[in-house]
Structure 1
Amino acid sequence: MEDRIKIDVYGQLYSIPREIIENGPASRLKRMYKTGSSVSKSECIFINRSPESFAAVLRFYQTGELHIPMTSCPGAFIKELEYWEITPDAVSDCCYNRLQSFIDEQDTLRQFKQNSEDRGWSESPPDSYNCMKNIRAKLWEIVDYTKPSLAGKIYFGLTLSMILLSIFTLAYSTDPGFQRAMTNCERLEYMKSSNMEGYEMMKPYLEEMCDTEFLPSNSVNEMSNETVPESFSLQADNETDESDFKVYVFKIMHQTFYVEQTPTFVDEQSSIRPPTFYETVDENETVISGSEIFDDLNGTFTFEFLPMPSLFLDVPIPQMFMELKNVKVPDMKAKLFILIIMESVSNVFFTVDTILRLYSCPRIMFYFMSIINFADGTALIGAYLHLILYYRYPHLRYGNSWIDSLAYIQMLRSLRLFRIVANIRAGKVLAYSARKNVKDLTILILFLIAGMCTFASCFYIVEERTTIESIPDAWYWAIITMTTVGYGDIEPRTKIGRLLACICAVVGVLLLALTVPIFANHFLILYQHVETENVVKRLEKKSTKITRNQNIENTETRKAFFIV
């Protein structure tokens, strides 16, 4: 009869030939065999371990191959291997991939949990709040949303609303549909602030229609002073393509004093005339002033010069003459008043938010080391610089001026969305997955660059210069084709070029299909883990609430019993 050793594994009896254990690798089972060699045949060794895992270990002794049971967790099987003192490297190739994937997933989850608990600098250790007032700690939990609470959720939603309000306000302020024409008062303000010529000349006309955006035309003013706007007409400005200005052509009478340069005597008669000058109204018409007959746009005007006695003159003599004067009047676009109010509200909110964060931040040094906080501060400084220049130089409010770049800096507030996303489960998983897969994403980028350079050079060679002018243009074509975007602004004309474009597109699809799932796999694993944890926490919270209610009911029942 074959010599056997009996082993009872958690109630399941195994009768194992001794030679199988003797010929097997060194392990705890072999040491048990040596211990049980002195045991009588009627007795057995009792082991309180998993029968399923022991069966896999026993098959390893029988066949030399170690397989993970399909119904066994890889983590539990690893612990069984540790108990039986068998290295995981002994696992067969068909199951080793499953085991290694489990180890990688567990390592990723462990690092993710550690990262979530640390939260970098934003969540300080409990001891760091010992030197802070409790109100600052609570305030930081609300403004940074480190712990879910009703106040934190309300502030979270308010912050998100203000970020979107700021972004859309700046975006729609560039839309002509959300802009209005300047009023005449604003035109005067612009002319005065920018020191434009003709401000005093246009002031009486624009003030008459101050609150309207319509420009006056064909007005007459009979003012008797040195500069008399007799009438004017509105023309287009030929010097600018943007039509930011309108040109008014004025007929102006000048009363000027001239002095005779050469002395004369009493018996001679002469007339004193103003010097002749020229002014161009447009490309085809020139008005000559200084003669007795003046031709202009509306008719002929004649002025007689006063005959003066022949004598030695050393006093000025008044003379009248007419000229045409071009006056530019601004005709630009301005922001709607509601957009200015919305921008001001968002700036006030972000100012208060920054003050609260600086006041309650547990680590003020690390606060300024964050890229998001730096961008947020830059946007706030740009907003206030824009506000100062907006009221200091009124002419910069209208049209497209350089201070608009200061306003557009506020678009950096869109980076705050990353901070908000970081407080959401999916956002945390996505951010960690991106950091975890930096190497994989780098490899993807390197492959794209290699393919771009290769296909771009070939495309530049086979195509004519009318199709592709330079290799950098071919780089653009290659990257657009490999990512399957295909704008169509550059297209191959030759047959070889079209064949090359097909190969380029197929290679791009394969490249993305092989590398992107690596990133997606980590994201799905972590997201499923986070969702599972969230479900468990909800169930625990619900169970705790039910237990508390039951305890309250039992307490009230006992009180009622004693009262009775």
Structure 2
Amino acid sequence: MLNNDKTVVATGEEDNQVENNNGNEEKNQVKNDIVTINVSGVTYELDTDDIRRAPSSLIHKNVFGAGKYSLCFKRPVQSFEAVLAYYQTGDLHMPVSVCPGSFKTELEFWGLDPQIMTKCCYYRYLSFEDDQEILDKFHVHLFPEVGLEKEKHVWLPKLRKSLWNMLDFQDDRILTRLYFWLCTIMVILSVLTLALSSLPYFRRNLTKCELEEVLGMPVTSTEFTVNQNDSCTEPLPDSIYQTVVVEYERVNVTNRTDLQKNDILIAPDEYLKQKNSSDSDEKFDSERGFFDFNFDYADTVSDDTFVSHIFEALRPQTGIGKKTVRIQSVVYLDTILLGFFTADLLLRIFCCPSVGKYFLSTINVVDALVVLSAYAHIAINFLKKNEKYELSNFDLLEIFQVLRVIRLLRVVRDVTAFKVLSFSIKISLNDLLVLFLYLVLGIIIFANFIFFVESSEDIQSVPIGWWWAISTMTTVGYGDVVPKTLYGRLIGGVCAVSGVVMMALAIPVFVNTFLLLYAYAVLYKKSLNKPEDTHVFIHRQGRLRNKGIRSKGIMSNGAC
């Protein structure tokens, strides 16, 4: 009985022990289903089933890989709450008050892919990434040599290096600033001389010597006498262009009535010899009869002579188009400017670190072409004096002078706003291309429609319809070509509205990019005034450093 009782008792004790063990296992199982996470002093609990939602995350690796159910991290709480919400609900939202860049850093630390974000937040995240990519490229475009100032051009002699820094506006010395303003004034004067020389006020008529260069013969007028001793500095009157003798035409004269007022009579040699031998008392000069503006044919030649002889006469051809040249003050100023830019070009070529790289710049090539074409034009005018007054193939050299306005780009290329504008155009080139394609498509469609609905008198051809569509879609509206029918006006209204919509949709894309880059450039320029170039450190070195810290943090055990 005792044994049986003992056995029964033992059996009861074992049953109680088994029940206790089962209870402890259930408690441990319940306990292990909950993971405690301490983030910067704030404790959170997370179910293990929720953690399985992200197998590649840091928490999953610590719980199921390392078997840790109590984790501690020193990370921002607000970003972690968004991560915690993802584990609990399966939707990852980016807090409005958190910077997308900071949230990206936290997602990389917790081992979550940004692509799992919901569309409402992922669009804002992608916009931030695009802006950062643009800013990274713009930073290199704006300051391509940051951090390399001590190493560049070390092989150049000190004088050449100093001159190059001044000529290329690469330092902040007073001399460099003065030269910058001097170049700016010279470029503006160069553009002004080109523009003002086209005004009648800054042009004058040709002088006697210049008109002789045009004609290739002495100046002779049918209305008034031009003294061959006249000064070559005084411009001739406007009437000279209509009365100046350009050439002489040989005509046969058989009757006194055939002669005109300004004709020059040429007598045959036989008649002149006969006249001189028969009447030696009369003072008759044979040479005078051959080329004499004051030949008195009424008294010298009789009617019998006209009947028995055929005379020749030189009939003057008068009149040329009005020709003008620049006044001397403009010529002198242009010569001074040419000398300045010649010296500037030679000094740049002499002082630049690499001549080959110097001429890889479009602005430098254009500047050299303008200077060389100016000297080539001067040489041609010196060798062929009448070329500067006539239209010829050599005028192409003078057309190159129009490119002198490109020098303005060299002056303003270091201005922040210009850099922002040029880079904005470069970045927005795809958007501008889409705008251009939309414009071309609209031009083709509306031009064909307007050509078929309007009469041939109003729209003579489809290309004229193109011109009308361009001026309408761009909201210019010159008014030289207008639709007159009802259907034509309806098409014109749709065309105008389409142009407004096109501008309203495309221009803000470019404007937003410009504002983003300009704000960044202004802030960066202000940061340069600080003792340390903090922005460069963060922008270039900080990202690499932070990536290294994040990679180490992901591989760490997650302990505080």
User: Is the CA contact (8 Å cut-off) linking 1:205 and 1:216 kept in structure 2?
Assistant: no
CA distance in 2, matches of 1:211, 1:496: 64
Name the residue aligned to 2:211: 190
User: Is the CA contact (8 Å cut-off) linking 2:37 and 2:43 kept in structure 1?
Assistant: yes
Cα distance change, pair 511–289 in 1 and its aligned pair in 2 (3 A): same
Return the letter of the residue paired with 2:61: R
Structure 1, gaps ≥5 residues long: 218-233, 241-248, 267-271, 282-286, 295-301, 306-320, 544-564
Name the residue aligned to 1:450: 441
CA distance in 1, matches of 2:459, 2:383: 50
- The 5 A counterparts of 1:36-47 are 45-47=71-73
Q: What's the offset of the Cα at 1:421?
A: 2.6
**Aligned counterpart in structure 2 of residue 343 of structure 1, from 329, 334, 348:** 334
CA distance in 2, matches of 1:514, 1:71: 29
Cα distance change, pair 119–464 in 1 and its aligned pair in 2 (3 A): farther
Name the residue aligned to 1:227: none
Q: Secondary structure, in 3 states, of the residue corresponding to 1:526?
A: helix
Name the residue aligned to 1:13: 43
CA distance in 1, matches of 2:529, 2:329: 44
Q: Secondary structure, in 3 states, of the residue corresponding to 2:528?
A: helix
Q: What's the offset of the Cα at 1:124?
A: 9.1
Q: Secondary structure, in 3 states, of the residue corresponding to 1:71?
A: coil
Name the residue aligned to 1:111: 137
CA distance in 2, matches of 1:153, 1:511: 43
Q: What's the offset of the Cα at 1:365?
A: 1.2
Percent identity between matched residues is 29
Q: What's the offset of the Cα at 1:197?
A: 4.8
| Residue 515 (structure 1) aligned with residue 506 (structure 2) | yes
Name the residue aligned to 2:489: 498
Cα distance change, pair 239–448 in 1 and its aligned pair in 2 (3 A): farther
Return the letter of the residue paired with 2:209: L
- The 5 A counterparts of 1:532-543 are 532-540=523-531
User: Is the CA contact (8 Å cut-off) linking 1:191 and 1:329 kept in structure 2?
Assistant: no
**Aligned counterpart in structure 2 of residue 161 of structure 1, from 172, 182, 185:** 185
Q: Secondary structure, in 3 states, of the residue corresponding to 2:529?
A: helix
> Which string of whole-angstrom CA distances, capped at 9 and with x for unpartnered residues, describes residues 135-191 of structure 1?
222222221223444333222222221111111101111110111234xxx313531
| Residue 487 (structure 1) aligned with residue 478 (structure 2) | yes
Greater shift, 193-202 or 470-479, is seen at 193-202
Q: What's the offset of the Cα at 1:5?
A: 3.6
Return the letter of the residue paired with 1:500: I
Name the residue aligned to 1:77: 103
Between Structure 1 and Structure 2, which shows a larger proportion of strand residues? 1
| Residue 27 (structure 1) aligned with residue 27 (structure 2) | no
Name the residue aligned to 1:230: none
CA distance in 2, matches of 1:343, 1:360: 26
- The 5 A counterparts of 1:224-373 are 236-237=242-243, 258=270, 290=297, 292=299, 332-373=323-364
> Which string of whole-angstrom CA distances, capped at 9 and with x for unpartnered residues, describes residues 250-306 of structure 1?
79899997558899xx9xxxxx999xx999x9xxxxx99755478xxxxxxx9999x
Name the residue aligned to 1:180: 204
> Which string of whole-angstrom CA distances, capped at 9 and with x for unpartnered residues, describes residues 507-563 of structure 1?
1111222222222222211111111111222244899xxxxxxxxxxxxxxxxxxxx
Name the residue aligned to 2:227: 205
| Residue 478 (structure 1) aligned with residue 502 (structure 2) | no
Cα distance change, pair 487–262 in 1 and its aligned pair in 2 (3 A): closer
CA distance in 2, matches of 1:132, 1:83: 48
Name the residue aligned to 1:438: 429
Q: What's the offset of the Cα at 1:506?
A: 1.0
Higher RCO by CA contacts (8 Å cutoff, separation 6 or greater):
2
Name the residue aligned to 2:20: none
**Aligned counterpart in structure 1 of residue 176 of structure 2, from 152, 160, 164:** 152
Name the residue aligned to 2:159: 135
Greater shift, 460-469 or 251-260, is seen at 251-260
Return the letter of the residue paired with 2:167: V
User: Is the CA contact (8 Å cut-off) linking 1:9 and 1:51 kept in structure 2?
Assistant: yes
User: Is the CA contact (8 Å cut-off) linking 2:243 and 2:318 kept in structure 1?
Assistant: no
**Aligned counterpart in structure 1 of residue 116 of structure 2, from 62, 69, 90:** 90
- The 5 A counterparts of 1:413-424 are 413-424=404-415
> Which string of whole-angstrom CA distances, capped at 9 and with x for unpartnered residues, describes residues 184-216 of structure 1?
xx3135315742255699997252566544669
CA distance in 1, matches of 2:402, 2:272: 67
User: Is the CA contact (8 Å cut-off) linking 1:292 and 1:303 kept in structure 2?
Assistant: no
CA distance in 2, matches of 1:462, 1:200: 58
Q: What's the offset of the Cα at 1:432?
A: 1.5
Q: Secondary structure, in 3 states, of the residue corresponding to 1:8?
A: strand
TM-score for both structures, normalised by structure 2: 0.73
Name the residue aligned to 1:375: 366
User: Is the CA contact (8 Å cut-off) linking 1:456 and 1:478 kept in structure 2?
Assistant: yes
Q: Secondary structure, in 3 states, of the residue corresponding to 1:207?
A: coil
**Aligned counterpart in structure 2 of residue 59 of structure 1, from 82, 85, 105:** 85
User: Is the CA contact (8 Å cut-off) linking 2:205 and 2:237 kept in structure 1?
Assistant: no
> Which string of whole-angstrom CA distances, capped at 9 and with x for unpartnered residues, describes residues 461-514 of structure 1?
111110011111111111111111110000001110110011111111112222
Cα distance change, pair 107–521 in 1 and its aligned pair in 2 (3 A): same
Name the residue aligned to 1:313: none
CA distance in 1, matches of 2:164, 2:338: 21
> Which string of whole-angstrom CA distances, capped at 9 and with x for unpartnered residues, describes residues 30-78 of structure 1?
3334489666xxxx53211111111111111111111111121111111
CA distance in 1, matches of 2:199, 2:429: 39
